[in-house]
Structure formats: structure tokens, C-alpha cells
Structure 1
Amino acid sequence: MTIKGLRLFACAAAYAAAGALTTASAQDMALTEDGYYAKPGANVLVFSNYYDSLFSDSKISGVEIVQHGIRTATNGDVRLSATPGQWDPIGLFVEREVNEEDGVITATLNYDEYDFSYTIRSETKGDAVVISVTLPKALPKELEGKAGFNLEFIPSQYWDKPYLADGRPGLFPAYAASAMEMPYQDEAWGTRAEPKAIATAKTFVLAPGDDSHQVTISAGTTDISLYDGRNQAQNGWYVFRSLLPSGKKGRVLEWTINVASDPDFVREPVVSFSQVGYTPDRQKIAVVELDENDTASATATILKMGADGSVTAVLEPAVEP
């Protein structure tokens, strides 16, 4: 058997530690040459992925957070409700620009139906990323009190963990149980129920003291509200949301996001092999994907597990880079 060790730079870096940084030091959050922000153990993606408008709730778009190899947050974008579902409207992606010299990413989107366009801009600030929303003109009247910036966190990583809302302690609920309300009573939006906010604050700290999960979100003088999207749909996530202000244009909203991490974090190797099996005469090849900061071993060990739970090394082939 031949084991081929393959270092997949873009993929490995996006889900592990910092890759080749184009700005700042290795301990600060910085823009990589692959177009996302990274520091050891944490990454922030800004519209590296976006929807094709067919299914707008597949959790793969907008601002995303990867923490210690796990994608814990996604769908950072301007949405028209607190806990949007798969058929709710979503901004149409127009363009994305990456300025490596200044460490800035901008993404422009629009809601054609409302003649509403906006730009989401990101930049680094020490070990944090600053996300802002810029409007070329004020919100349309029909979107006042509806359009806001959302960021969704996966419940399985946070339920029963604490959070601080302007210093006030709370606990992420294990089950969907928050109160509901009927915020939309007009012909265009109907009368569907929406979850009420669990908590509202200017600054949230998720899982304080836990470097594998701690994230701090601060909006300055603007309110951030926490919602449980599972009250709306079974695949809903925890949603942090700030409404966009009415009657204003230019930079109307700014969040500072700080993702905690272990500076010595190295993601475990991922071993890939043929899932359809091998014919008897076919060479069996496994591909080992490594963290950017990992060191490849000269050999790999094939282990056999016995019925009694014992583990025996049966082969130790060389690794080919």
C-alpha cells in the first residue's frame, strides 16, 4: 500500500490555522493570499461562498467563522427577518473585491424587488475583524424595521454554554422554547410568527473562557439581539442581529468580531480514501491532508483493531509528499 501525503494549501488553511499572511503578524487576524482572514486556530470568511438564489438557507454564505477547524457561524448578511427560512428573500450577489494591500474585502449585493443595494465591508483590527454595512441611499420605507445584519451560529456547538450580554449572564437554550410574536401585519409580508429576542445588548461574549468557542461581537452604540431560529424551522440556528437604521446612508452599521483561539492549534490530519472500494489488483492510495502548520511524518502506520479491542500495527509505509 502507498500512502501519499498531500498538503492542500487553500483547503487546509481555510479550515485550520493561518496560511500565508499578507498583512500583520501571525498572532493578529490578517488577510491571507487566498482571500480570507486568519490567525492561528481561527478563520473568518467574507463571501468566499454565496447562494445561487435556489436554496437560501443551506448555511454556506456571507460572513463565516471557522474556529479550531469547525465552522461555527455562517450566513452573515443583510436579511429581511430575524430568523429567515429557506424560501425567504435574500440579497442577490453582485460582486466581491479583495484588496490584499489594505486587508479589505467588500461584497456588493441587492434586493431587486425593493431597489435596495448594499455593501458589506470587512477589515482587520488587531486580532479582530470589523464588519460594516454601507448603503448608497437610505432604506426603502417598506424595509424599515425589517432589514438587518444577521450572523448565525450552529446550536450543537453552543447549547447549554453561557453567554454574556453587556455583562449579564445567560445560557444558550438546548431546545427551541423562546416566545413568539406576529411582527408583520401588512399585505406584503403576511402574518407569520417570528421568535422574540432572547437577549439584547451592545456586546455579546459567547462561551466566555472557552477558547474553542468564545466569540465576542460588539456593535458600539447599536443593539444586537439574539434569536433562536429553531423556533421557526428545525434547521434554524442561533441568530445575532442588528437592525439597519432608517433614513441614513453611508456606513450605517459596524460590528467588531473577535474569535478566540489557541495560538498553538494544529488541526488533526484528515485521511481520504476511495469510498467505493478497490478492485483486487488496484493500487490502494490514501491522501493525507495536513494543517498548514503541521509537519509531515516520514511514515504512516496502518492499525488493525481486533474483536477484543486490541490494536496492532500491521504496516508502516513511507509517505510520499
Structure 2
Amino acid sequence: MEPTPGQWSPVPKMGEKIVDNEKQLISVELWFPDSSKNCKGFNPIVYPDLKLKYKIQTEPINEGASILVTVKMDEPLPSQWDGKIGFNLELFPGYFFGKYYLADGKPGAFPRDPILKDSSVDSPLVKCTEFVLEPGTANRIAIKSLTKDIELYDGRITHNNGWFILRTIIDSSNPEEAVKWVITPHIDPSDSENMYKPVIKVSQVGYHPAQKKQVIIETAKDHELNGKLQLQRIEKESVIIIEDNINPEYWGRFLRYNYYTWDFTNIRNEGLYRFVYFDKDKNISSNIFLIDNEIFSEYIWQPTVEYFLPIQMCHMRVNENYRVWHGRCHMDDAVMAPVNHNHFDGYVQSESTLTRFESGSRVPGLNKGGWHDAGDFDLRIESQSETVYKLSLAYELFRPQIDVTTIDQKSQTVEIHIPDGKNDILQQIEHGLLSIVGAYESMGRLYRGIICRDLRQYVLLGDPVNMTDNIPGEDDRWVFTENNYRHELGTAQALAAAYRVMKNFNPVLADKCLKISAELFERDTSGITTEKLNTAAELYLSTQNENYKKILFENREKLVENIFAHTLVIGRITYKFGDDFKIEVENAVKKLYNNVTKLQRETPFGVPYKPYIWGAGWGIQAFGVSQLFLHLYFPDAFESDYLLNSLNFILGVHPGKNNASFVSGIGVNSLTTAYGFNRADWSYIPGGIGSGTALIRPDLPELKIWPYLWQQTEYVLGGGTVDYILLSLGADKILNNK
């Protein structure tokens, strides 16, 4: 409905895709509006008063050399919509920057930066009957319209995250052939230059001498690995061949590729290494990697604590030497959200505020603490509490010593690279608690979230200090409330754990945490749920209160039957309930280990990989952390190999030709163009963790270099951040017997 639609523009509802093999037709029915999104649901969209139904059909023509695309309308457009609706094909900009096209034979180039051609943002850059992408190359694609003209738009004129768009206006006078395109790609099966090259996969960081190590080679499905593989050691002035004529074992087919593996666990000498595959006349090298005893000790998790968490801190000014990452933001937080309101980012306020505060009234105590959620700047209770919880577990289990940052809560200022004599992890836990506890004391309950009120604020790129004026008024953010036992008990669980690490650091705040945790636990009426038992476990560990122990003991069968849901607590309470319970749990852990190994053997990477929308990195991290806790407390029943695979996956051993580490700044190659609040600068935040390689259905793994693909490179709080810290600290402890 627009030449350059954005994130909240009306999108069609897609029906069933029909494949007719006999006629070689593929068709799908679509329609406007989508009733599930029209002014309701998560991310509601406002549709115009128009009902539209149509079909898109493709079929091979010219003996299979071309594809005919036809748009068939059920009925003509209403007259007021004539000339306003078109068929769009979006082109990924990062691939076409600086490359040429031909528009009816006239050359042009795709600009790296958007340029407004004239005074109208709706004017196309060119119009033509035939548009040819990358003429004169093996990647040439010709698109010819048999109906109205093809128009080229630069979607970045109106949306920073826009793409290049080819558009043809619907011919309403001929509904059966409203749009007809012929797409002709250049195909040359003999062109070896454009065939998929083997990809050698090793960690972008490296390995500990004692850990299981495996190189993985990914090839096209019709490519047999018959070349020569070498393992080389890199010395000062020479390269030493450690293993020659390696014959990797065929693992099998996964996604659209063949995979081969070779185990090099026996290589234990510290140093720099690389693999080289000699394929005919061409050499394909892996990244250089390190084998070192301190591989998980130094400059691995530290940037996440030194950079990412401080830079994400809300209600603070964050300085790094001459640089100001962002100003002292959102000091005018916050105003109670309107009742019966469905916010465009998924927040819903019910018919009541659930507090003594009416809609539009100021809620005190909310202008301190908390971390921004990726590039959106909102504070979600679940991400705040999970960050607090897992940082507390990391400190309690591993006692990491790090003091490289000054965090001054009185002046609300952060100074990166300037120690202040206090442990940075404890200070980060304190910062998250200030937001959670401050809101609870003010409202008598948790917030659902704190977020800006309109879209112009929401799409802000750059310094969040510019979102509001820091003075109470019309631009202040809204605070939402909810009844949600999972969020409430999850927060209670976090507060109970935080009490133990805070009691010597900030005893007043620690006591408040324990009090609120107990209140949330007693207030809950959801029954004996997974969340209830996990919270009871943390409260028992913090208080030794027999009531919590009784709840756990009386429900020990539930703990054992659903043990994977309780992995973060089960090991720490097992030895407090006697030998019989210990035996039950250990047997359950052994059974779970067998199931986990079967699941992880489904891929050559030793991890489950089934992404839906986002890349799978965060889920794989969480999966690894669950295994970490089981290994730490049941080492004889649960080995460490598979949890280390999770870390390898994050650090570059994952599907696709882009082997980047998902942790910005960590490894030889990493996500240095990522979806943080500074994404418009094509930049990154050190130590931020993206979700990583997404899966384009049905089988194409994709990790593009592009700052606006939140599905692949968005940073998040909670487990997406702290699970990586836990895995790194855990690997260091296990492999160095600390």
C-alpha cells in the first residue's frame, strides 16, 4: 500500500501455499486486512478501510530459463485506491552498494547512502520496462514488466532500515493480470567461481588444551570433500605442518549442506594454529585460532561487564575517556500508562492500573537503575530480573574479580576504564535492583515495563538522552503494570538470590530484596508451578526457612519429573534433602543426559539448532547454561563436552559461510555491525551478544552484515547477555580445575 513500507505498515495475511507439480505452478492467496493484527495483538497495525484479496502465482517459462510472476486480483480496486497499490520486491541493500543496474538500457548505480532525488519522498529513482541487476556479471538478473512500469525506490529515504525496492503499480483494469513480471537470472552451471566454497569452522577465539576439539567443514550438497586438509602451527617466521593429508569423516547432510568433521583433541600444545584445505588449485583457510590454558580467563567475558552492561545502563551518563556513549537519560520517568491501552510494542494496560496511581499520574522512584533493552530503550521486568538473577549466580558460583569501571549512583555517572575499588558485577546487580525495588516500593507491585509513548520516540537512533527532555511533562515514558505470576515469581527468584550476594555489599538493599521476594511468593495464587518451586529453592537457600524446605520436599516428585526446568536450583538443594532424594535426582540427571546427547547429535555442531524468527544463539546459550549447572553439581552423571559446544557455537562454529562470533569484539571475526542503539553508525557495543545466524526457510542459514536485522544481530538483556558470562566462567573453572 506504500512504495516504501515500514515496520508498522499494513502487511497482508498469507494463506496456504499451493504447489502444482503437474502444471509447475506455485501460488499463494493473500488478503488485507490481517484481522489478527488490525489494531490488536502484539505490535498492532492500523489498516485502512479496504478489503483486498489476491493471488501471487509463479511458473517457469522459456524452457525453464525464466520465471513468470502474476498477481491476480479477486476484483478490481475501488476507484479511490487506483494507482496507489503496487507489487513490491525488496532488494537487500548491503549486497548492492556501489553496483550497477540498467533501466531500459540506461545505467545507474545503487548509492551507499540514501539521496533524495527531488522534493517528494514518494518519487521513484527511475522508471522502466526492464530492470537489470548487475549487468555483465555472473550475478545478472533481468526483471521485465509486461504490465505497468517498474519503479526503483530507496526505502532508506523514509526508514533508516529500509531496502531498495522494485515496484509496479497494480493494473486495476485487468484484475486477472494486475501485474506480470518475467524474472530471468543468469545461470551457468559450469561457472565454478559462483559455486559454494567449502567453509572451515573453528572457534574464532580458540580452545583450551584439555577440551574436546573438532574442526567442521561445510560443503555444498553436491561437493565431495576430496582435497587435502592440513593443520598448521604458526610460528614467528615459519609455518609448521602438524597434521598433513587429513581425511575428515563424513558426518552427513544438515540443512542444505554436507558436513565433514575431524577431531583434534590430542593437539594440546599452546600456540597459534589454522587449518588449510587444498581444493584443486585454491587454498581455503580457517581463521587463525589459539590453544591456551587461559583462553576462557582473559578478554572473553570481561568486555560484556566492562562495556556492554555499563553502556546499557538507564538513568546514567556513560563516559569512556573522550567519548560519551549516552547522556543521563530518562530522568523524568515515569507516568502511569492509560488504561485499556494496547501499546505498539506489545505492552497492554488492563482496565485498571492495579495501583493507587491513576492513568497520567506521576509514579515516583522510577528514575534510577535498570538497563535499556537492546535498541528499544524500554525496561522489561523479565529482562531486568533475569539479568540480576544470573549475575548473582555468576558471582556466587565463581567469584569473578573485576573492577575496571566507576559507577556513581549519587551523580548517576559511569566512567569506563576507571576503577572505583568496587566489584563491577556487584555494582551491576545493585543497578538492576534499584529499578525493581524502587518501583515495588512506590507502587506496591512490580512494573510490566517502562517505555516511550509514541512511535517517533520509539524509533530513535542514537543517544537515548534525546528521547525525553528529562523534565516531567508531556513526553515522559509510561509505566505499565500487569498480573503475571511467571514474571512475579521470576523476579522473586532473582531477588532471593540477589540477597545473598548483596548482604555484604549493600545490606539495606539486600534486606529489601528478601522482603519483597517473600511477599511476592506469599501473594502468588498460581499453585505449585515450576516458577513457584524455583523461587522456593532460592528463598530456602537465602533463609534456611523450614517452610520453603517443606514445600520443596513435598513436591520432590515434580522436581525430579521435570528436572530440566529446575536445572539452576536442583544441584544446590539436592544435598540438603537426604540420600534417597539425591539418588532419585542423580538417576533423573543420567536419564536427561542421554536425552540431551541424542538431541545434540542431530547437528554436526553438537547443539540443537532450530531457529524460528531470531537466530538460535540465545537459546543455545541457555541450553548450555542448564548443562553447566548439571555438570557442576553432578559431574559423574553429566559430562561437560556438550555445554562447551554451546560456547563454540556462539564463538563461530555455526552454519553458513559467515563464521563470525556472535559476541561483538570477541574473536578474530565477530559481529562488528550490530543492532544496538548505535546501529545507524554501522557500529557495535563491545561484549554485546547477538542472536546470530537465522534460518531462512526451509534450509538457508543467514548472517548478513547489516545493522538493522534485529532477527540476527540484536542485543538483548537477560539470558541473552548473562548466559554467555556464565558459560565462559564455567568453562574456565571446569578446564582449569579451579
- Give the shorter-chain TM-score range: 0.5 to 0.7
Mean Cα displacement is larger for which, 218-227 or 284-293? 284-293
- What is the deviation of 1:163? 1.8
The equivalent residue for 1:10 is none
Q: 1:313 to 1:234 in 2, by over 3 A?
A: farther
Match of 2:19 among 87, 98, 104: 98
Distance in 2, matches of 1:284 and 1:175, equals 43
The equivalent residue for 1:268 is 197
The equivalent residue for 2:57 is 121
Greater RCO (CA < 8 Å, at least 6 residues apart) = 1
User: TM-score w.r.t. structure 2 length?
Assistant: 0.29
The equivalent residue for 1:250 is 176
Flag the structure with higher strand content. 1
1:83 aligns to 2:4 (yes or no): yes
- Per the alignment, in what secondary structure is the counterpart of residue 178 of structure 2? strand
Correspondence 1:15-54 to 2 at 5 A:
none
* Contact 1:297–1:319 (8 Å) recurs in 2: no
The equivalent residue for 1:293 is 222
Deviations 1:27-46 (A, max 9, x none): xxxxxxxxxxxxxxxxxxxx
1:167 aligns to 2:94 (yes or no): no
The equivalent residue for 2:589 is none
Match of 2:135 among 201, 208, 214: 208
User: TM-score w.r.t. structure 1 length?
Assistant: 0.64
* Contact 1:298–1:319 (8 Å) recurs in 2: no
* Contact 2:148–2:171 (8 Å) recurs in 1: no
The equivalent residue for 2:153 is 227
Deviations 1:169-210 (A, max 9, x none): 22222321123556xxxxxxxxxxx34211101101122101
Distance in 2, matches of 1:224 and 1:216, equals 12
- Per the alignment, in what secondary structure is the counterpart of residue 138 of structure 1? coil
Q: 1:85 to 1:305 in 2, by over 3 A?
A: farther
- What is the deviation of 1:164? 1.5
* Contact 2:4–2:153 (8 Å) recurs in 1: yes
AA paired with 1:104? L
Mean Cα displacement is larger for which, 95-104 or 249-258? 95-104
Match of 1:303 among 232, 235, 241: 232
The equivalent residue for 1:238 is 164
Distance in 2, matches of 1:139 and 1:307, equals 72
Gaps of 5+ in 1: 1-79, 183-193
Match of 1:151 among 71, 76, 89: 89
- What is the deviation of 1:241? 0.5
- What is the deviation of 1:314? 2.3
- What is the deviation of 1:102? 2.8
* Contact 1:178–1:195 (8 Å) recurs in 2: no
Question: Computing the radius of gyration over CA atoms, which structure comes out larger, 1 or 2?
Answer: 2
Q: 1:159 to 1:92 in 2, by over 3 A?
A: same
* Contact 2:147–2:171 (8 Å) recurs in 1: no
Distance in 2, matches of 1:109 and 1:273, equals 43
Q: 1:111 to 1:303 in 2, by over 3 A?
A: farther
AA paired with 2:152? L
* Contact 2:171–2:177 (8 Å) recurs in 1: no
Deviations 1:134-183 (A, max 9, x none): 1111224454322211112222332332222112222222321123556x
Deviations 1:104-135 (A, max 9, x none): 21122111252212111111123111111111
1:313 aligns to 2:241 (yes or no): yes
The equivalent residue for 2:426 is none
* Contact 2:148–2:170 (8 Å) recurs in 1: no
- Per the alignment, in what secondary structure is the counterpart of residue 288 of structure 1? strand
CA RMSD of aligned residues (A): 2.5
* Contact 1:116–1:140 (8 Å) recurs in 2: no
- Per the alignment, in what secondary structure is the counterpart of residue 156 of structure 2? helix
- What is the deviation of 1:299? 5.4
- What is the deviation of 1:99? 2.1
The equivalent residue for 2:608 is none
- What is the deviation of 1:256? 0.7
Q: 1:103 to 1:271 in 2, by over 3 A?
A: farther
Q: 1:314 to 1:199 in 2, by over 3 A?
A: same
* Contact 1:109–1:118 (8 Å) recurs in 2: yes
Aligned residues: 229
Distance in 2, matches of 1:142 and 1:277, equals 62
- Per the alignment, in what secondary structure is the counterpart of residue 230 of structure 1? helix
Distance in 2, matches of 1:195 and 1:306, equals 59
Q: 1:181 to 1:107 in 2, by over 3 A?
A: farther
Deviations 1:3-36 (A, max 9, x none): xxxxxxxxxxxxxxxxxxxxxxxxxxxxxxxxxx
Distance in 1, matches of 2:73 and 2:232, equals 58
Flag the structure with higher helix content. 2
Gaps of 5+ in 2: 34-46, 251-738
- Per the alignment, in what secondary structure is the counterpart of residue 290 of structure 1? strand
- What is the deviation of 1:280? 5.4
* Contact 1:299–1:319 (8 Å) recurs in 2: no
Q: 1:305 to 1:140 in 2, by over 3 A?
A: farther
Q: 1:131 to 1:221 in 2, by over 3 A?
A: closer
Distance in 2, matches of 1:311 and 1:251, equals 64
Q: 1:307 to 1:169 in 2, by over 3 A?
A: same
Q: 1:226 to 1:284 in 2, by over 3 A?
A: same
The equivalent residue for 2:185 is 259
Q: 1:312 to 1:86 in 2, by over 3 A?
A: farther
The equivalent residue for 1:107 is 28
Distance in 2, matches of 1:243 and 1:280, equals 62
